[in-house]
Structure 1
Amino acid sequence: MATRLFEDRAHAAIYQKYRFSPQENLQSVIFSYLEEKRVSPGQLAVDVGCGSGQSTRMLAKHFEKVVGTDISEAQIEEARRAPQPPNVSYLVCPAEDLPFEDGSVDLVTAFAAVHWFDGPRFLREVDRVLKPSGCVVFSSYNRHMQLCYKDCTDELTEIFREIQDQLFTFRNEKIKLVENDYQEIFDSLPFQEKQRMTDIFDKIPLSVADIIGYIQSLSPYRLYLEAQPEEAKSLLQNTERRFLETMGVSSRDTQLELRTKHICILGCKSS
């Protein structure tokens, strides 16, 4: 059964504002693989569980047509509000029931999303819609992140990990798939040609305010906010204060760097 945690309008707006698109090194791995498999440039890419469309727009210059799909109407509304390349569109639909003909899609992607789906049903649907020699890309960042600023990287990262650990008690059980680096999803992918990478690193320039917004966008935080609203809001306020004090600055617009580690599954259907 698919898990639905990102659907209310307030969460969708935060997701659009604070979630980041796939970064340079991850993109390089993905598009090098697609070029090797002769899928990029291609005719149709489908980005499943696209949320507010950050990853969908990234695909636009590599395909004639890109369609982002999500089960959340609020997320799709946010995606449509953003500036779009002319070849990008969006649909509201379940990941397990894609409105595309058999063998019509060159690429199916899911960024920070595939772990929420009904895995067996989704993978059968992927196999159905993909063309012979079509490809899949399933990727997510995991909990191993660093916050870097001058000489206080270790202290900032420790604060960030404390927050992650505190929110950990509110996580959905499907997060275990991310914690296991998508091994179960990789094993279930019904393609002989497939690979799983767990050592792709990227650097993302963000402000303190952006980091706080990112924490707000996380599903465990949304569950915490629902269960204990005052405590959840206090956690954000205290976290921001600790970041600023550790950095020795007063402005939440101060820039630092988030270093991420990605999981990425790449696969190609046989011809």
Structure 2
Amino acid sequence: MGYHTFDAGRADKLEDAQQRYRFLSAEELRWALSVDGDATVADLGSGTGFYTDDVAPAVDHVYAVDIQEAMHDYYREKGAPDNVDLVTSSVDDLPLDTGSLDAAFSTMTYHEFASDRALREVARVLKPQGTLAIADWAASGSGSDGPPVDERFSSDEATAALSQHGFTVEFEAVRPETFLIVATAE
């Protein structure tokens, strides 16, 4: 089961590029998604749209999904690109059509929504062979950045959960504080 969400009152912290790119660069995220310019993508736990902004120029459409309307308010004020729709929703009940996404990604938010229901829902909205990229805080990390270690998942736990829900893990990397998993839907 996932844990608490990021405090929207601290949203400015999510815009610190130097800090954020230490753990996942824009280039690595776009590589993990490997989608073309016609793709429709969802950012699961989009927050302020920091990584949404990195993906939006490379695709046709992005759904920025966040459970907190306050995060969308921040993103609106910052200026969301024209091809981004802000969707206030939990990941376990996405208001998107079945098979409507070419790809989805989660950047440092998997620990917030990880559940069987959420993974079933992500599998539902992805097209067959659609890509899911997850970069998150690793349970093996020190906890000096990100959430407390006891609120994190290991890469092994995440890959096992994905496999149980019909995903095939194509790539896995464990770093000192984070992991990156790229998987495809059935």
TM-score computed with the length of structure 2 as normaliser: 0.81
- Look up the match of 1:45: 41
- 1:266 to 2:149 alignment: no
Alpha carbons 2:24, 2:135 under 8 Å: kept: no
- Look up the match of 2:150: 173
Alpha carbons 2:135, 2:179 under 8 Å: kept: yes
Distance 1:261-1:24 versus aligned 2 partners, 3 A rule: closer
User: 2:64 & 2:159 partners in 1: Cα distance?
Assistant: 22
Distance 1:24-1:118 versus aligned 2 partners, 3 A rule: closer
- Look up the match of 1:4: 4
Counterpart AA for 1:194: E
Alpha carbons 2:26, 2:51 under 8 Å: kept: no
- Look up the match of 1:198: 174
Offset from partner CA, 1:57-101 (integer Å, 9 cap, x none): 111112101111111121121112113322122111111111100
- Look up the match of 2:75: 79
User: 1:81 & 1:172 partners in 2: Cα distance?
Assistant: 32
TM-score computed with the length of structure 1 as normaliser: 0.58
Alpha carbons 1:119, 1:185 under 8 Å: kept: no
Unaligned residue ranges in structure 2 (runs of 5+): none
Q: After the TM superposition, which residues 1-271 of structure 1 pair with which residues of structure 2 at under 5 Å, given as runs? A: 1-8=1-8, 10-12=9-11, 14-18=12-16, 20-22=19-21, 26-35=25-34, 39-141=35-137, 164=144, 171=148, 173-175=150-152, 177=153, 180=154, 182-189=155-162, 190-199=166-175, 262-270=178-186
Larger helix proportion, structure 1 or 2? 1
Q: Residue 193 of structure 1: CA displacement?
A: 4.4
Mark the structure with the bigger radius of gyration.
1
User: 2:90 & 2:24 partners in 1: Cα distance?
Assistant: 29
Alpha carbons 2:2, 2:110 under 8 Å: kept: no
Offset from partner CA, 1:112-138 (integer Å, 9 cap, x none): 000111421111011100011210000
User: 2:21 & 2:37 partners in 1: Cα distance?
Assistant: 18
User: 2:62 & 2:6 partners in 1: Cα distance?
Assistant: 22
Alpha carbons 1:43, 1:106 under 8 Å: kept: yes
Counterpart AA for 1:4: H
Counterpart AA for 1:267: A
Off by >6 Å, runs of 4+ in structure 1: none
Q: How big is the alpha-carbon RMSD for the aligned residues of Structure 1 and Structure 2?
A: 3.1
SS at match of 2:128: strand
Offset from partner CA, 1:14-63 (integer Å, 9 cap, x none): 3344465546974434433443xxx3233311001111110111111121
Alpha carbons 1:193, 1:269 under 8 Å: kept: no
Higher relative contact order (CA 8 A, sep 6+): 1
Alpha carbons 2:48, 2:75 under 8 Å: kept: yes
